[in-house]
Amino acid sequence: MSSALLTGSICLRTLQNNEQFKLTRRSIDTAYAVMDDTNENRQLLQRLSVPFLFSEGTLIIPGEQAGKISRFSNLELLPLIEQGELVLNDPVHRQLLSTLIQSILPRSRTTGEHCAFITPGSTSTSALSKLVSQLIALQGYKPFATTITLAAGLSSLPAASRFSGYVVYLGHSHSEIGLIHQSRVVARQSTPYGSEWMDEQLAHAYKLLTKNPDGEMVPDLAGARDKRLGPEVSLSPYLSSPSAISSWYDSLLDSLLDQFVSQMASIQAYTSTLATLPVIYLGELATVNGLGELLAQHLNSREIQFDAQQVVCIPDAADAIIRGALVIAAMEEESSAQAA
């Protein structure tokens, strides 16, 4: 049985394929809430059948239950992962991540089962990636770190292209672009900017503020997100009055593509032999109107050759990524079996 784990900034997802080729999906939110460890609070949580963890005089409420509790109390929902990183020296965060992974990744049934995994951020060799690898191994799997570029490409690039093309991911904590040729990543570039960064910029630009549970005025990130996703927003470069939000997308694509072009130049002799390839784009920032046209304009301006008739948005990024990661796990298992 092969498995895949997607450690996202907002939730964890697993996808497993058993011997009968039956897929099992599981997910859990990564947000959590903290309450003082008192008899009253313990009794409240027990009456509500809400699971919790103990840590240094506090009660930690993980996952979806934290959201339910926060809706009728003044408890703040806290992110386990911020800016693509986990506070690794915080025992609460390590314990919570371990608990969440155990809850959605059952122990392996046989030896040799692989689990391909992806962590947030721009690198698969980060400290968080190493910790997730250790936690997967404790569940009895052989962990294998992979990238969003490869996973999304394997699941979403057309078979007619022999799984070759460009993958553009505009995510929560980071963005990346990669060139895949026949199921192999030829070039890949990432930048630590995504919807988290953009909503902060928009909140400041539009002076959007809200009060936190302590009564302090802070940037209204939810309001910024609503403005970014408004039905009137279009990024099309062919409009007479393009959206003001377009400039932030331009900045993000500039940051991503300028360095990618340098990589492509270094392998120009190789890429010049390739056919004109399709482009897929996905992620939290990818579903806005006109992004395909804006992306095509940026690729053209940098003389990247691509099929302008095949610039396609993949609407469910998480599903596409974890399906591709499961394919990678199955490929690794097959390679290991052949080498044995």
Is 213 a domain residue? no
**Arithmetic mean of pLDDT over the chain:** 90
* pLDDT > 90: percent of the chain: 59
**pLDDT value of position 35:** 87
CATH number at residue 253: 3.30.420.40
Is 179 a domain residue? yes
Q: Answer yes or no: do 190 and 233 share one domain.
A: yes
**pLDDT value of position 191:** 93
* SS3 (DSSP) at 155: helix
Task: Read off the pTM.
Answer: 0.91
Q: How far apart are the C-alpha atoms of 210 and 173, rounded to whole Å?
A: 22
Q: Answer yes or no: do 142 and 268 share one domain.
A: no
Q: How many domains does the structure of the chain reveal?
A: 2
- DSSP per residue, 48-70: TT---EEETTEEEEEHHHHHHHH
In the chain, beta strands by DSSP E? 2-7, 11-17, 23-29, 32-36, 53-55, 58-62, 114-118, 142-145, 165-170, 175-181, 184-191, 209-211, 217-219, 279-282, 311-313
Q: Name the pairing type of β-strands 32-36 and 53-55.
A: unpaired
Contact 333, 295 (CB under 8 A): no
Sequence-ordered list of residues with C-beta below 8 angstroms from that of 2, at least 6 positions apart, any chain: 16, 17, 113, 114, 115, 116, 326, 329, 330, 332, 333
Is 241 a domain residue? yes
Structure tokens at 47: 């009456």
Q: Answer yes or no: do 324 and 307 share one domain.
A: no
Tens of pLDDT, residues 61-119? 888 888 778 777 778 888 888 877 776 667 788 888 999 999 999 999 888 899 999 99
Q: Answer yes or no: do 276 and 140 share one domain.
A: no
Q: How far apart are the C-alpha atoms of 118 and 149, rounded to whole Å?
A: 10
Is 64 a domain residue? no
CATH number at residue 8: 3.30.420
Segments forming the whole domain that contains residue 182: 157-195+228-313
Q: Answer yes or no: do 259 and 244 share one domain.
A: yes
Put the strands of the sheet holding 53-55 in their side by side order.
32-36, 58-62, 53-55
Q: Answer yes or no: do 178 and 137 share one domain.
A: no
Q: How far apart are the C-alpha atoms of 201 and 153, rounded to whole Å?
A: 30
Q: Answer yes or no: do 173 and 305 share one domain.
A: yes
Instruction: Determine whether 148 is exposed, middle or buried from the number of CB atoms within 10 Å of its CB (0-12, 13-18, 19+).
Output: buried
> Would you place residue 243 in the very low, low, confident or very high pLDDT band (cuts 50, 70, 90)?
confident
- C-alpha triplet 335, 8, 42: angle, nearest 5°: 120
Q: Tell me: pLDDT of 203 over 90.
A: yes
- The torsion angles phi and psi of 209, rounded to 5 degrees, stand at -130, 155
Q: Tell me: pLDDT of 56 over 90.
A: no
Is 331 a domain residue? yes
Contact 167, 146 (CB under 8 A): no
Exposure string of 107-138, with b = 16+ CB inside 10 Å and e = fewer, is: ebeeeebbbbbbbbbbebebebbebbbebbee
Q: Answer yes or no: do 304 and 257 share one domain.
A: yes
Among the listed residues 143, 240, 245, the one whose alpha carbon sits nearest the alpha carbon of residue 199? 245
Is 210 a domain residue? no
Neighbours of 25 (CB within 10 A): 11
Q: How far apart are the C-alpha atoms of 280 and 292, rounded to whole Å?
A: 9
Q: Answer yes or no: do 235 and 138 share one domain.
A: no
> Would you place residue 196 in the very low, low, confident or very high pLDDT band (cuts 50, 70, 90)?
very high
Q: Answer yes or no: do 183 and 269 share one domain.
A: yes
Q: Answer yes or no: do 184 and 239 share one domain.
A: yes
Q: Tell me: pLDDT of 29 over 80.
A: yes
**pLDDT value of position 271:** 87
Residue labelled with tokens 């692989």:
114
Q: Answer yes or no: do 171 and 103 share one domain.
A: no
Is 252 a domain residue? yes
Tens of pLDDT, residues 163-195? 899 999 999 989 999 999 998 999 999 999 999
Q: How far apart are the C-alpha atoms of 50 and 214, rounded to whole Å?
A: 25
Is 200 a domain residue? no
